[in-house]
């Protein structure tokens, strides 16, 4: 009977299959890091595409003259209802994309949300462009980008788990809707302090979303993850723009 030298066993390697994340498993070690890196590239690539699509839609609406018609139609509605619609649209689109396993449904959720946000933003951008002086939109965009980049860097470099912010964000969103409802039915004035609080809420949402995407999101949900971030960026841009507009009155 042939005997194998025990020393030869030390040089042999055992091939361990890498589980497919789509089956609920994640690759280990270096494979996991590479896969997570590719996932993050896809997430932020889709986020950039969503921002560019939103910008392109706004440019088209203003160039075609449709922006004025949309602005006049929505400005005639109680402005608090527009704010409420802004938040509700975000929740619905995020829920649709997050629950969808199909990439097609995720893309549908992202596309619908970008279009909805472009329409909801039009009155605010129209007023900012025509009644508060030039440059306010660009300033709000720059501040939003700086805030997003800074908060993303904090989440990535510290690698802290910001999931504890989830409860605060839910309560903050509910309180914001209550305040907006108070503005609709009782005429409450939601001034600069409300906008400042909403900018803070958007910043907390970016930290929470970024941490969750890095740690927990499945690799095949990169479209839904980009929608999460886009919703938070849009929220921050909306209220930074409102703050700058209020400061110029």
CA distances from 53 to 47, 49, 230 (A): 10, 6, 11
Contacts of 166 (CB under 8 A, 6+ apart): 208
Q: What's the rounded Cα separation, in Å, for the pair 143 and 152? A: 14
* Cα(132)–Cα(244) distance, integer angstroms: 9
pLDDT digits (tens, 9 = 90+) for 70-94: 888 777 665 666 666 666 766 676 6
Number of domains composing the chain: 1
Owning domain of residue 134: 28-247
- With respect to residue 21, please indicate whether it lies within any of the assigned structural domains: no
Task: Report yes or no on 13 lying in a domain.
Answer: no
Residue with tokens 């929220």: 235
- Is the residue at 19 inside a domain? no
Predicted confidence band of residue 20 (pLDDT cuts 50, 70, 90): very low
In a domain, 76, yes or no: yes
pLDDT higher at 228 or 27: 228
Residue 218 counted as domain residue: yes
Residue 154 has pLDDT above 70, yes or no: yes
For tokens 């025990």, name the residue.
6
Per the domain annotation, does 239 fall within a domain?
A: yes
Number of Cβ within a 10 Å radius of residue 105: 15
Q: Which two tokens stand for residue 70?
A: 């949309």
pLDDT at residue 66 in the model: 92
Please write the tens of the pLDDT for every residue from 189-225. Answer: 667 778 888 899 999 999 999 998 888 888 888 888 9
240, 61 Cβ separation under 8 angstroms: no
Specify the pLDDT at position 21. 45
> Is the Cα dihedral 214, 215, 217, 220 positive or negative?
positive
């Amino acid at each position: 009977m042939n005997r194998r030298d025990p020393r030869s066993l030390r040089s042999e390697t055992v091939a361990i299959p890498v589980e497919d994340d789509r089956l609920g498993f994640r690759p280990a070690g270096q494979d996991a890091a590479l896969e997570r890196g590719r996932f993050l590239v896809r997430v932020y690539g889709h986020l950039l595409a969503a921002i560019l699509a939103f910008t392109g839609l706004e440019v088209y609406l203003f160039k075609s003259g449709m922006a004025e018609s949309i602005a006049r139609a929505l400005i005639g509605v109680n402005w608090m209802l527009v704010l409420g619609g802004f938040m509700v649209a975000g929740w619905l689109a995020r829920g649709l994309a997050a629950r969808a396993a199909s990439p097609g449904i995720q893309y549908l959720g992202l596309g619908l949300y970008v279009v909805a946000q472009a329409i909801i933003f039009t009155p605010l951008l129209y007023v900012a462009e025509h009644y508060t002086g030039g440059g306010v939109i660009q300033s709000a965009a720059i501040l939003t980008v700086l805030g997003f980049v800074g908060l993303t860097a904090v989440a990535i470099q510290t690698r802290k788990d910001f999931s504890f912010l989830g409860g605060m964000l839910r309560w903050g969103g509910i309180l914001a809707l209550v305040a907006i409802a108070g503005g609709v039915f009782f005429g409450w004035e939601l001034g600069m302090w409300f906008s400042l609080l909403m900018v803070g809420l958007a910043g907390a949402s970016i930290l929470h979303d970024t941490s969750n995407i890095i740690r927990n999101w499945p690799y095949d949900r990169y479209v839904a993850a980009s929608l999460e971030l886009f919703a938070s960026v849009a929220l921050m841009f909306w209220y930074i723009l409102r703050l700058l507009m209020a400061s110029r009155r």
